Chain A
Amino acid sequence: MAVAVPVAPQSAAIVPRRGQFLRSMPAKAKVGGAILGLFLLVAIIGPAIAPYDPSATNPNALGAVGPTAAHLLGTTSTGQDVLSQLLVGLRSSIVLGVLTASIATFLAVATGVTAGFLGGIADEGLSLLMNVFVVLPALPLLIVLLGYLPGSGDLPTAIVLSALGWSWGARVIRAQTLTLRSRDFIAAARETGERTWRIVTFEILPNEVSLIAANFVGTFLYAILTSVALAFIGVANFSTWNLGTMLFWAQSANAFSTGAWWWYVPPGVAAALLGTSLVLLNFGLDELGNPRLRNTTGRRKRPHARWRPGTGLSTAAHPHQPRWSGRAWRPTDPTPVERAEPLA
Chain B
Amino acid sequence: MIPADTARNGPTAVPAGEERPPVLEIRDLSIVYRGDVDVKAVDHVDLVLAPGETVGLAGESGSGKSTLALGACRLLRPPAVITGGSVVYRGSRVAPGGVEILDQGSRELRKLRWREISIVFQSAMNALNPVLRIRDQLGDVLDAHLNLAREEKRERLGTLLDLVGIPRERLRSYPHELSGGMRQRVMIAMALAVDPEVVIMDEPTTALDVVVQREILAQIVELQKRLHFAVLFITHDLSLLLEIADRIAIMYAGRLLEVGSAEQIHNRPAHPYTRGLLESFPSVHGARKKLAGIPGSPPDLRSLPPGCPFVPRCRYATEPCRSVDMRVLPVAGSDERHLSACPFVTAETAERAAAALASSATAAAPQRERS
A and B touch in the complex (CB under 8 A): yes
A-to-B contact residues, CB < 8 Å: 1, 3-11, 297, 299, 301, 304-305, 307, 309-313, 315, 318-320, 322, 325, 329, 331-340, 343
Residue contact B81 to A305, C-beta cutoff 8 Å:
no
What's the minimum C-beta distance from A100 to chain B, rounded to whole angstroms?
40
- Besides A8-B299, A313-B79, 18 more A-B contacts (Cβ < 8 Å) are A5-B66, A5-B122, A8-B298, A307-B79, A309-B61, A309-B66, A309-B301, A310-B62, A310-B65, A310-B67, A312-B70, A312-B77, A315-B79, A318-B35, A319-B36, A335-B70, A337-B82, A338-B83
A-B contact count (CB 8 A): 126
Q: Which residue of A lies closest to B100 (CB)?
A: A343
Stretch at the interface among B104-112, B187-195, B285-293, B308-316: B104-112
User: Closest residue of chain B to A325, judged by CB?
Assistant: B105
**For chain B residues 71-129, which have a beta carbon within 8 Å of chain A?**
71, 74-84, 86, 102-106, 109, 122-123
Q: Are B207 and A3 in contact (CB under 8 A)?
A: yes
Evaluate whether A343 and B35 lie within 8 angstroms (CB atoms) in the complex, with A329-B78, A332-B106 already known.
Answer: no
Check B39–A307 contact: CB distance below 8 A: yes
Which 7 pairs from chain A and chain B are nearest by CB?
A: A8-B62, A334-B74, A304-B35, A310-B66, A3-B207, A320-B34, A322-B78
Residue of B nearest to A324 (CB): B106
A322 interface neighbour in B63, B79, B299, Cβ under 8 Å: B79
Q: Which residue of B lies closest to A305 (CB)?
A: B79
* CB pair B75 A335 closer than 8 Å: yes
**Interface pairs (22), CB distance under 8 Å:** A1-B207, A3-B122, A8-B62, A8-B300, A299-B36, A304-B35, A307-B35, A309-B62, A310-B62, A313-B76, A313-B79, A315-B79, A318-B79, A319-B35, A320-B34, A322-B78, A335-B70, A335-B77, A335-B78, A336-B78, A337-B74, A337-B82
Question: A307 and B33: CB pair below 8 A?
Answer: yes
Task: Give the complex CA separation of A135 and B23 in angstroms.
Answer: 61
Contact, CB under 8 Å: A305 / B35: yes
B236 touches A5 (CB 8 A): yes
Tell me the dominant secondary structure on chain A's binding face. loop
Of residues 235 to 263 in B, which have CB atoms within 8 Å of A's CB atoms?
Answer: 236
- Show the binding face of B for A, using Cβ within 8 Å: 31, 33-37, 39, 41, 60-67, 70-71, 74-84, 86, 102-106, 109, 122-123, 203, 206-207, 236, 297-301
In the assembled complex, which residues on chain B have CB atoms less than 8 Å from the CB atom of A11?
300
A315-B207 contact, Cβ under 8 Å, with A307-B33, A337-B82: no
Q: Is A310 a contact partner of B64 (Cβ separation < 8 A)? A: yes
- Chain A residues, CB < 8 A from B74: 334-335, 337
> CA A310 – CA B79 in complex, angstroms?
13
Across the interface, which residues of A come within 8 angstroms of B299, CB to CB? Answer: 8
